[in-house]
Amino acid sequence: MDTRRLIASLCYFSIFFAGFLVPVVVYFVTNDGWVREHAKKALLSHILPFLSLIFFLIIWIATISVTSTIFLGVISLILYFVVMIWNVIKGIQVLLEQ
């Protein structure tokens, strides 16, 4: 197993245990451009649900309605699960690259 593939895939899989921390550390510690690129992509995919949650929270505060609360909560959960599945797929693809 190639160490750089393992580290790059770990950046994607870190959404389960250390979301922002692992990609940031890998990005600043490694000198390998390929690993840095994957760390950057993983970090952006970890930040996306967080930013959308803040956006939906602002909308919720502006509207304050039960219907919008349920709708925004469901949208946030769906986005988080899509990003989580995408990270798993990308992590597996990176592990399987030649």
Q: What pLDDT was estimated at residue 73?
A: 75
Q: What pLDDT was estimated at residue 66?
A: 65
The answer to whether 35 and 8 have CB atoms below 8 angstroms apart is: yes
* DSSP conformation class of 14: G
Q: What pLDDT was estimated at residue 92?
A: 93
Q: What pLDDT was estimated at residue 65?
A: 66
Provide the domain count of the chain: 1
Which residue range is the domain that position 83 belongs to? Answer: 3-96
* DSSP conformation class of 20: T
pLDDT digits (tens, 9 = 90+) for 1-11: 688 899 999 99
Q: What pLDDT was estimated at residue 40?
A: 93
Q: What pLDDT was estimated at residue 56?
A: 76
pLDDT digits (tens, 9 = 90+) for 10-68: 999 998 887 788 899 999 999 988 999 999 999 998 888 888 778 777 777 777 666 66
What ranges in 1-98 are assigned the alpha helix state H?
Answer: 3-13, 21-29, 33-63, 66-96
